[in-house]
Amino acid sequence: MLSRSYYRTLSGDKLATALDEGATVTAARAAQEEWRAFLASFQALHDDGPFVPNVPITSISSNRILDEKGRENRDFLGSAQRKICEYASDGRHVYSDGRSHYLQFTEPKLVANEIQLAVSRVCG
């Protein structure tokens, strides 16, 4: 399914990287282990709340829901990322322009700009 919807938009090095990271037996096993550990991790999050270190945090969410009002009510992943940034003493949450999961490929300028901002927040 992913190959029909996402990989067809990539070419060259970007496609090779995406395939290398996501289309191997090792990646599938790692994903399976993550799902197995999810319940315990989710229970710990529920019991103790999120651990947010005292460092600048930037979160970039893909813009899966274009309507801003609808996004607040339906984008639970973006909302969770935004909430973590609110817990941080120096947190920043932004939405991308597009809907891609691999923002480093589709919106590299956004990612680079946010990295530069994070570094400037640390270094002054």
Q: How far apart are CA 122 and CA 70, in angstroms?
A: 34
- Digits of tens for pLDDT over the chain (124 positions)? 455 566 677 778 777 766 666 666 777 777 778 878 887 887 887 788 777 888 889 999 888 766 767 666 677 788 888 888 998 889 999 989 887 788 899 899 999 999 999 999 889 7
Q: Where are the alpha helices (DSSP H) in 1-124?
A: 2-5, 12-22, 25-48, 68-74, 76-87, 103-106, 108-123
What 3-state class would DSSP assign to 98? coil
Q: How many CA atoms lie within 13 A of 70 on its CB side?
A: 5
Q: What are phi and psi of 60, to 5 degrees?
A: -115, 120
- Entry pTM: 0.57
Task: For residue 16, give both structure tokens.
Answer: 């090779």
